[in-house]
Structure 1
Amino acid sequence: MREVTVGTADLAAYQQVLGPERSATLRSGAGRLAALLAGRTVWNVNSTAAGGGVAELLHSLVPLARALGVPVRWLVIDGDAEFFAITKRLCTLVYGSPGDGGPTGEAEREHYRKVTEANAADLAGFVRPGDVVIVHEAQPAGLVPAAARLGAKVVYRSHTGCDTPNEHTARGWAFIRPYVEQADATVFLIPPHVQPWAPAPQVVAPSIDPCLPKNVALSQDEAVEVLRAVGALAGGAADGGPVTVSPGGGPSIELRRPVIAVREGDPPPADAPMVVQVSRWDRLKDMAGVLRSFVAADVPGSYLTLAGSDVTGVSDDPEAEEMFVECRREWERLPTELRARIQLLCLPMADPRENALVVNALQQHATVVVQKSVAEGFGLTATEAMWKSRPLLANAVGGLRTQVVPDESGLLLDPTRPDGAAGGIARVLADPALADRLGAGARRRVHENYLPDRHLLQWGDLIETLVKEDDPDASAR
């Protein structure tokens, strides 16, 4: 186990986005919480410092909370390949999917226990009585009892779920339930994901950070410059040297690492209509289904970009390479003229800020963004695209149904259709006025509901309740 080093956020940048009234409310709530904690620490525990939605949320919320005076820190657990294969299986099962079909029997439980015990020993070196420990997802779920034994108040935060429980969700939850039900509270993304046995369940939607490189405003010229620099669009520098960009006028980011691209011929031209999905290489994100939808839409002159993390760069997702290979094989079966209009990109993970800027540029440059998940916790890649005023086509699953108001902030798709995005792709590409209207509605919905001030204040309310339960006199100090 190790601690992730994070700095503090620039509060002035958030005030520019939130405005004075929301900024004052955030400062007031954070100040009250900081006084209430009085020497306690709020610990977040998850499985990786880079890659995936949990790590991204923590890279946003922890520095902001610290800038507001709230004592928040972040720990990442250790585990071997077998452990992460088991926990990937558990997360997929909780989504309602059979995943790799592997076992979750006594041998898997014993290995999970051994890895958890090793991390629990490390946890004792950080956590003190009275602290608050937030355990994120199945990987560190086994640490809930250990944190409680150390005298902490413990919250289990679920980032996955299934709208309609089935035998797969039952098997996944059965594995981690003995740990999770020992928490003082549980937090879920949307109401349908709440488990009936969960202790003190709360619903807290996640958020995106408008001030990080992934979401700061880029002009169209800046987005094109970034994508050309990494080889995602045609027209990059002939010498292939690094390009430096200062997104949103903030600190400069040097683009030194090209994308790993699978495509036929040259990169797409910058002036071509572009359909984009940015997701993990994961069977639940259905990248191959987006490819099939694009082919079925058959819009002349348009291009498709499927982009995910470098398959060697996400330590807790052992299926990523397998899913990327499956998608590449489907691409290879297409006629040459179609392969020339579809690119699969693996985005380097060595520099998180560089990776985030490339994702930002891909979403900003997109004519239409697709999120064709067959199961979804919330879908922050969709939220990010909405913030950039992009028209969004999303399967009607999980938190995507919460975010998308049909025909107002996007279009909802039938998740049972393998090429279900085809009609929406064709419709939006053919109607620029519709694209503009959906994009404006998407931006507005994110501004009103999915920025970090609301997110932190909800967490503050929950932590305040737990601390007062533990120490009724805390509010008087």
Structure 2
Amino acid sequence: MTTVYEVPLREVPLAPYEEVMGAQRVERLRVEAGWVRRMLGGRTVWNINSTAAGGGVAELLHTLGPLARAAGLDVRWLVIDGDAEFYAIAKRLVSRLYGIAGDGGPLGPAELLHYRRAVAANAERLARHIHPGDFVIVHDAQPAGLIERVRERGATVVWRCHIGSDRPNEHTREGGEFVRRFVAHADATVFSTPGHVPDWAPSPRLIAPSVDPCGPKNMDLSPDVARAVLAATGIVAGDREPPLTVPVPIGPPAEVRQAALALREGPPPAPDLPMVVQVSRWDRLKDMTGVLDAFIASGVDGYLTLAGADVSGVADDPEATDVYEECRRVWHALPEEHRRRCQLLCLPMDDLRENAVVVNALQRHATVVVQKSLAEGFGLTATEAMWKSRPLLASAVGGLRDQVKDGESGLLLPDPHDVGAAAAGIRRLFGDHAFARRLGDNARARVHEHYLPDRQLLDWMRVIESVATARAA
């Protein structure tokens, strides 16, 4: 039975954010939130997406929702549901909007009918949540079919698209034709980067996402604590003595209890062995096998870790298992000497705070972080690594081109398919320690200025104000 459910948002204090961002920035957030709250007349700002865990949208909502509420706005979050066929169609649609074929399946009349039926079942249950005058943000393609139904409820609706392609092709056109019939009813649209705005998007705006500096994924961790977390999960060698309790600035401590599911040859790597790390979903667009090829081609004396979520822990991504199995096959085909220098990790997702601390420790432990995406909306994991002052090698695609200033706050690959260039980038960051350290320092400063959550919330407040005012007029 299809069910729309509300994700509870935790209560957070603003004091930890003042320590990171400064009292002046937090006070500005309070003042602007007060103005928007009065303008809305106490009505609710709703977010609607397709999963409460896994992927960048869920992470952003787990951060922005509580922070907005702490600043004084009534922000809430709904998640839609669907059957396996709906998620397969939605994943296919997402792939097309990224500019690739995905599973190669059709997006024809039968798929449109199934999508409409799934959306209609969800829409029937929205009435208990959404009321006239509310402001609703519909995230990505999965729930886009709800836009017209939400607007019929008397709410103002914005479609927030987190994905896209720098190079329109037959796939983006097919995906666009499918989704635009629904998005056309939105009062406005929001994108992460200019290159992803299609010509059919109504009243488009730009908002770059952000990272949470006070949450378990991006809070400060000492090198000793990071190594202890990785040892406790079996990612590096060391005493495995779970549970390990890690204090968090906001909320209860994180408990590290579960071992990562690791595919490797031999024991875990020594904690002092230099490590290349990519953390991402098991998604073909993240090109995990391409990172594996580039690491081996680089010839560096180090270890590679490719880490993604447990494939059973992300409800809206039916391709994750297939992509992980592809990576397994590529790893198994390697000569033994290379298998001994590479591991694939599936990180448990049933405790999101535990998962976040493990990712935090893994990124901080990394000598080099790679984000070799073939397409990208906004690279949250890249921004997380930048906040941790890690030298970053990323593809010059999507929002990554905005986030990273090549040669200043990271290295960009002009062609994400170029394994030789990726290998050369890894060698350079391994070999030139002063350059790598300078990139890391500049990267953290860039995130502090542009990609912390107060900036994103202020951008959203301006959109809410302008769009709601235009709707009222």
2-side partners of 1:4 and 1:383: how far apart? 25
* 1:210 corresponding residue in structure 2: 213
Shift of 1:249: 8.9
2-side partners of 1:192 and 1:255: how far apart? 40
Shift of 1:31: 1.1
The amino acid that maps onto 2:404 is V
Shift of 1:469: 2.6
1-side partners of 2:128 and 2:387: how far apart? 40
Question: Cα–Cα, structure 1 residues 138 and 249, in superposed 2: closer, same or farther, change >3 Å?
Answer: closer
Cα deviations by residue, 1:14-41 (Å, 9 ceiling, x for unpaired)? 1111112211211111111111111211
The amino acid that maps onto 1:224 is R
8 Å CA contact 2:48, 2:80 repeated in 1? yes
* Structure 1 SS opposite 2:129: coil
* 1:8 corresponding residue in structure 2: 11
1-side partners of 2:72 and 2:113: how far apart? 41
Shift of 1:390: 0.2
Matches for 1:2-401 after TM superposition, within 5 Å: 2-237=5-240, 240-247=241-248, 251-300=252-301, 302-401=302-401
2-side partners of 1:386 and 1:309: how far apart? 21
The amino acid that maps onto 1:261 is A
1-side partners of 2:150 and 2:168: how far apart? 29
Give the length in aligned residue pairs. Answer: 469
8 Å CA contact 1:217, 1:247 repeated in 2? no
Shift of 1:251: 3.2
The amino acid that maps onto 1:363 is Q
Q: Which runs of 5+ in 1 are unaligned?
A: 473-477
8 Å CA contact 1:29, 1:457 repeated in 2? yes
* 2:447 corresponding residue in structure 1: 446
Shift of 1:394: 0.3
* Structure 2 SS opposite 1:54: helix
1-side partners of 2:8 and 2:279: how far apart? 27
1-side partners of 2:29 and 2:72: how far apart? 11
Shift of 1:65: 0.4
1-side partners of 2:355 and 2:255: how far apart? 11
Shift of 1:467: 2.4
Is the counterpart of residue 405 in structure 1 residue 439 in structure 2?
no
8 Å CA contact 2:214, 2:248 repeated in 1? no
Cα deviations by residue, 1:255-289 (Å, 9 ceiling, x for unpaired)? 11110000001001100100000000000000000
Question: Cα–Cα, structure 1 residues 25 and 455, in superposed 2: closer, same or farther, change >3 Å?
Answer: same
The amino acid that maps onto 2:450 is N
Q: Which runs of 5+ in 2 are unaligned?
A: none
1-side partners of 2:19 and 2:242: how far apart? 34
Shift of 1:248: 5.4
The amino acid that maps onto 1:348 is P
Shift of 1:250: 6.6
2-side partners of 1:156 and 1:246: how far apart? 37
Shift of 1:421: 1.4
Cα deviations by residue, 1:363-404 (Å, 9 ceiling, x for unpaired)? 010000000000000111100000000000001100111111
The amino acid that maps onto 1:426 is R
The amino acid that maps onto 2:326 is E
* Structure 1 SS opposite 2:37: helix
The amino acid that maps onto 2:304 is L
1-side partners of 2:421 and 2:95: how far apart? 22
Question: Cα–Cα, structure 1 residues 249 and 203, in superposed 2: closer, same or farther, change >3 Å?
Answer: closer
8 Å CA contact 2:242, 2:258 repeated in 1? no
8 Å CA contact 2:16, 2:249 repeated in 1? no
* Structure 1 SS opposite 2:157: strand
Shift of 1:115: 0.3
1-side partners of 2:248 and 2:146: how far apart? 39
8 Å CA contact 2:392, 2:440 repeated in 1? yes
1-side partners of 2:342 and 2:366: how far apart? 14
The amino acid that maps onto 1:369 is V
2-side partners of 1:125 and 1:355: how far apart? 33
2-side partners of 1:309 and 1:202: how far apart? 31
Shift of 1:419: 4.7
Shift of 1:420: 3.6
Report the TM-score, using the length of structure 1 for normalisation: 0.97
The CA RMSD over aligned residues, in Å, is 1.1
* Structure 2 SS opposite 1:276: strand
Cα deviations by residue, 1:292-316 (Å, 9 ceiling, x for unpaired)? 000000112x000000000011010
* Structure 2 SS opposite 1:398: coil
2-side partners of 1:298 and 1:251: how far apart? 43
2-side partners of 1:323 and 1:236: how far apart? 32
The amino acid that maps onto 2:117 is K
1-side partners of 2:467 and 2:199: how far apart? 20
* Structure 2 SS opposite 1:154: strand
